[in-house]
Structure 1
Amino acid sequence: MAFIPTASQTVGPYLHLGLTPITIADIAKDATRGEKIVISGRVLDGEGQPIPDALIEFWQANADGKYAHPEDTQDKPLDGNFLGFGRMPTDKEGRFSFSTIKPGAVPGPGNTLQAPHIVVCLFMRGMLKHLYTRIYFSDEAANADDPVLGLIEDAPRRDTLIAKRQPGKAEYRWDVVMQGQDETVFFDC
């Protein structure tokens, strides 16, 4: 009797079949408190080519800096009009776009405050594990004191986490590069 190794398990090309029908690209209803914004960009490989079948999940606090999660025990109000979670696939050009609100600051390590940010999780075929990163905002003064951004000493690497506000718009541009010289910073969680 010969033993044959089991095939490696990856996310596979099937994630769109199960997850695309539950796309949530607008996580802030009209009555949600806070500054309404749009974040758009592309997911690219190391050669700058679009990844057409990635899936992006994002979580964030509301405008007051409170997550809609039972583990967030801060004495801050919840916003019943705000989901705090979204999911969307990239299109054939690797593009994505979602609308939300700019989040408030949340507690960080050592009684510090973290700058407003959005937590991002990426899935795609060929990956054994999904990846985590963050979106920070280019027009946010609190970035200078954020304890997580402060861990990234190299300014060009730190900039991969910063969404750039588009002139005269409530829109931010943020691209994800999966590998290579301009690779986005990813976190071990």
Structure 2
Amino acid sequence: MIDTHKTGEFRYEVSDIRDQDEAEFGITPSQTVGPYVHIGLTLEDSEIVATEGDTIEVSFSVIDGNGDPVADAMIEIWQTRPDGTYNTDEVEGFRGLGRGMADETGTVTFTTLRPGATEEEAAHLKVGVFARGMLERLYTRLYFPENDNAADPVLELVDAARRDLLIAEPVDGGYRKTIVMQHADPGKETPFFRV
């Protein structure tokens, strides 16, 4: 769906400016990431967030509204330590930030520690999604099913009927989540946040 249907309706207003001299001075719009997004953005083993402690695996599969994998997606995660603090100091064996490129099935797997809750929010992973043809990254979250997520102020912003779209599925001692982009049925598309 992302690479096809180019004659369909555009989500964003299409400019009629055809020459750079016609454009007003100011901030330029975002550019798409292009087919070579992974060059220079991912380092070897950057999907390994933690190398010490009780690590878990968290897999994200990115699909479009047709159910096709987005094989060139890049996923970033940012999280707290298990004690609920962010990694502002260098801690050996834990970075707090991970980045990985999807394989041909649209899947990225991270090795990390289970994040802790903060004073304000339930334990979660902050998730950024990049892919070819997107003007800006998409922001979403992953919450864990065994935690009390009911009072999380960000999760409360999502319609109650769609909150389960942000809850991870336990699998083989780890977790899995499918991120659905551009689905015709808004109730099936992953909730994304404006940051």
Q: Which has the higher helix share?
A: 1
Same amino acid, percent of matched pairs: 45
- The alpha carbon displacement at 1:23 in A equals 4.9
Q: Indicate yes or no: 2:43 matched with 1:15.
A: no
Give distance in 2, aligned partners of 1:41 and 1:56.
Answer: 8
Question: Could you report, residue by residue, the CA deviation over 1:65-106 in whole angstroms, capped at 9, with x for unpaired residues?
Answer: 011127xxxxxxx84321101000001111111111111111
- The alpha carbon displacement at 1:154 in A equals 3.0
Q: Indicate yes or no: 2:190 matched with 1:184.
A: yes
Q: TM-score, normalised by structure 2?
A: 0.79
After TM superposition, the structure 1 = structure 2 runs for residues 5-154 of structure 1, keeping only pairs within 5 Å, are 5=19, 9-30=31-52, 32=53, 35-69=54-88, 79-107=91-119, 113-140=120-147, 142-154=148-160
The one-letter code matched in structure 2 to 1:146 is: D
> Would you say the 8 A contact 1:13–1:125 is kept in 2?
yes
RMSD, aligned CA: 2.1
Question: Could you report, residue by residue, the CA deviation over 1:18-40 in whole angstroms, capped at 9, with x for unpaired residues?
Answer: 2234551111112x3xx421111
Give distance in 1, aligned partners of 2:30 and 2:109.
Answer: 32
> Would you say the 8 A contact 2:50–2:111 is kept in 1?
yes
The one-letter code matched in structure 1 to 2:92 is: G
- The alpha carbon displacement at 1:119 in A equals 0.4
- The alpha carbon displacement at 1:145 in A equals 1.5
Give distance in 2, aligned partners of 1:177 and 1:17.
Answer: 24
Q: TM-score, normalised by structure 1?
A: 0.81
* Secondary structure in structure 2 of the residue aligned to 1:135: strand
- The alpha carbon displacement at 1:176 in A equals 0.4
> Would you say the 8 A contact 2:30–2:136 is kept in 1?
no
> Would you say the 8 A contact 1:62–1:79 is kept in 2?
no
Structure 1 stretches lacking a partner, 5+ long? 71-77, 108-112
> Would you say the 8 A contact 1:43–1:175 is kept in 2?
yes
* Secondary structure in structure 1 of the residue aligned to 2:153: coil
- Residue in structure 2 matching 1:165, options 161, 165, 170: 170
Give 4+ residue runs of structure 1 displaced > 4 Å after superposition. Answer: none
> Would you say the 8 A contact 1:65–1:106 is kept in 2?
yes
* Secondary structure in structure 2 of the residue aligned to 1:158: helix
